[in-house]
Chains A and B, each alone.
Chain A
Amino acid sequence: MSGFFRFILKRIVYMLITLLLISSCTFLLMNFLPGSPYGNEEKLTNKQREVMNERYGLNKPLGERYIIYMSGMLKGDFGISLQFGDQPVRSILSKRIGPSLQLGIQAMILGTSVGIILGMIAAMFQNSFIDAIVSLIAIIGRSVPNFVFAVLLQLLFAVYLKLFPIALWDKGFLSTVLPTVALSVSPMADSARFIRTEMIEVLNSDYIELARAKGMSEWRVAFKHGLRNALIPLITILGPMSVSLMTGSLVVENIFAIPGIGEQFVKSIMTNDYSTIMAVTMLYSTMLVTIILFVDILYGIVDPRIRVGGGEY
């Protein structure tokens, strides 16, 4: 077991190095970015600029600013937004994290569960008509960009059928339905494909043959013995899936006007709001790195071979 702890420790060290690298890179990039963060730069006198620089701490040398920035970040302080009414970045983002997280989790659950069921059915009826349909769904889900899906869903279910609100975040759960569905398409396609491959392999193994020989029904075999084992490797694609959800949230939140992180990020990029961009960048990176770590640990617990092998897979 000590090998496993060493493995976790190693992963945590890499994770911290990654985060340090990202934060330093964003800091430097933002620092050397062309242009200035002030709205009407050309109209400012030198004195005004000095006062502003003093106020935002931009007159200090680079090294000192770096230390201030890093130590602030450790305390969860990302400075004040340069665009949105001088609010602290932290309070802007903390208001917005809820909707994004809710959408992400709902989409993940919906996408993977539908994907698992589709993949399983496809594997059970391999090379049949149903299998072909599932493959088609998976290909379309993987190919059609999520913003195209989002727009089509909005048009069909909100504009024409009027079943759900077109946009905004004011109708409780109803407002979450369409964005969730739009976001879930890509995890659905990925997991359907993945589970199908895994399931076919599992269904051809000896212990499944034994379960069949005992007289279990095909569905019971598939659910009780097959799916359990096919599900384990699905953990490995949780990382890439959450990345695609993160990316997707930028467009989907924009299309459905959801007050989430993704929408704020796009707004901040458009307005050169450096401190918010840096904060969101760090937030996304931390989330991804944590998910990767979590997946590694989970997989180490589920599959003992990785513990022994020290994570070389």
Chain B
Amino acid sequence: MDEPINENKNLSPKIPSSYFTPLDDTHHFDNERIAAPSLSFYQDAWRRLKKNKAAVASMIILLLIILVEVLSIWYSPYDPNLQNVPHANLPPRIPHVNINGFNGKAKISGVWVDKYELVHVPKDLNYYFGTDAFGRDLLSRVLAGTRVSLLIALAAAFFDLIIGITYGLVSGWKGGSVDTIMQRILEIISGIPTLVVVILMLLFIRPGVTSIIIALGLTGWITMARVVRAETLKLKNQEFVLAARTLGESSLNIAVGHILPNLSGIIIIQTMFTIPSAIFFEAFLSFIGIGMRAPNASLGTLLNEGYKTFRFLPHLMWFPAVAICVIMITFNLLADGLRDAFDPKMKD
């Protein structure tokens, strides 16, 4: 590199020589130094996640929803199953909001009528989301239903983690004939539609939260097992595993202590994708009438009840519909954000 780079020497007279001053001796800098702070795996993922506005907004909304749901266990406005027939079918009334549809007025044969006055509801008694055909407070019911959805999501994620990770890790780590047999079993099971398993389980066990959780737990783990196995196969030939082996670590220790932490990224991503599908399945089953049983509220049963009287009492359909859409959209957006954050290669 000692030959002159600039061959056009006749260009240089145009630039005044005063531009070329020797660099100040005090400006020593170490170009070997790494200026960016060293980030751990999670810090790095968090940094990428923070850039994704939709995912951050979804996370905040979800945290708020979870907080409200936890609080509503003790501070529900009304008992979600408490019937108060005189106050049946009231439209929503929110104090100080004067928009037709939210001020206690409902359209009866083309005219807006204050239904609260018709049945003499006290001035200070408001149903923010209105009431259903039995006079049950819809807000309390939507809160209770969302709680069911979140509970099922949590349980589905838990089963997904426990069964899926164990199966995938054992299959990938053991390898050989164990892996072959486990993969064949997986291949056979994965041909069974989830719908069929869930419905058979619901026929067998009494419908309710537990049976839905068991049914979803039985089927949800297959993708997780596949993903974990594939990743374990990739990791198990790497140097750090060899190093652990050389140090005399037991097989179990390596699998749990060294391989598993390296899988955390894909595990988080996969779990986040299980959650919305579990929420959907519960709502779906309850909507067609084989999930949660009356009088217990779930978003699916509320939608089913609301659908029947949609034209006349639109609030009974709209509030649960918006609730389930918000949960599903935020979970999906957060899942997408986490996937991009943990695995930038997969970004689409």
Contacts and interface: CB of A to CB of B under 8 A. Distances in A.
A30 B332 CA distance: 36
Interface string B259-301: 0000000000000000010001001100111100000000000
Given A145-B328, A147-B284, A151-B307, A26 B200 contact: yes
Contacts of B288: 250-251, 254, 266
B203 A277 contact: yes
A148 B310 contact: no
A247 B284 contact: yes
A18 B192 contact: yes
Interface in B173-224: 184, 187-189, 191-196, 199-200, 203-204
Given A143-B276, A145-B324, A148-B324, A266 B188 contact: no
Contact of A29 (B203, B283, B331): B203
A288 B303 CA distance: 29
B191 A147 contact: no
Interface stretch (A102-110, A169-177, A193-201, A226-234): A193-201
Nearest to B311: A159
Given A14-B188, A147-B303, A148-B303, A22 B329 contact: no
A134 to B, nearest CB: 12
Interface string B331-343: 1110010000000
Interface in B39-90: none
Q: Is the interface of A mostly helix, strand, loop or mixed?
A: helix
Contacts of B307: 151, 255
Interface residues of B, number: 37
Contact of B321 (A148, A251, A272): A148
Contacts of A288: 191-193
A155 B308 CA distance: 12
Interface string A104-121: 000000000000000000
Nearest to A15: B191
B317 interface: yes
B191 A292 contact: yes
A148 B196 CA distance: 22
Interface in A118-136: none
B310 A151 contact: yes
B195 A243 contact: yes
Contacts of A266: 288-290
Contacts of A25: 200
Given A151-B310, A155-B310, A270-B289, A145 B204 contact: no
Nearest to A265: B199
Nearest to A262: B288
A284 B332 contact: no
Contacts of A200: 348
Contacts of A155: 310-311
Contact of B333 (A15, A30, A139, A147): A139
A102 to B, nearest CB: 20
Contacts of A29: 200, 203-204
A281 interface: yes
A209 B242 CA distance: 43
Interface string A1-37: 0000000000000110111011001100110110000
A29 B196 CA distance: 12
Contact of A281 (B187, B200, B336): B200
Contact of B195 (A193, A247, A289): A247
Contacts of B303: 147-148, 151
B325 interface: yes
Nearest to B191: A18
A196 B348 contact: yes
A241 to B, nearest CB: 13
Contacts of A302: none
A33 B204 contact: yes
Contacts of A216: none
A151 B308 CA distance: 10
Nearest to B317: A151
A17 B289 CA distance: 32
A265 B285 CA distance: 13
B305 to A, nearest CB: 12
Nearest to A26: B200
B328 A285 contact: no
Contact of B284 (A32, A145, A196, A285): A145
Nearest to B280: A145
Contacts of A51: none
Contacts of A58: none
A17 B221 CA distance: 21
Contacts of A22: 191-192, 196
Interface of A: 14-15, 17-19, 21-22, 25-26, 29-30, 32-33, 139-140, 142-145, 147-148, 151-152, 155, 159, 193, 196-197, 200, 243, 246-247, 250-251, 254-255, 265-266, 269-270, 272, 277, 281, 284-285, 288-289, 292
5 contacts: A22-B192, A26-B196, A143-B332, A284-B195, A285-B193
Given A18-B188, A251-B288, 10 more contacts: A14-B184, A29-B200, A139-B329, A197-B348, A254-B288, A284-B193, A285-B192, A285-B193, A288-B191, A288-B193
Interface of B: 184, 187-189, 191-196, 199-200, 203-204, 276, 280, 283-284, 287-290, 303, 307, 310-311, 317, 321, 324-325, 328-329, 331-333, 336, 348
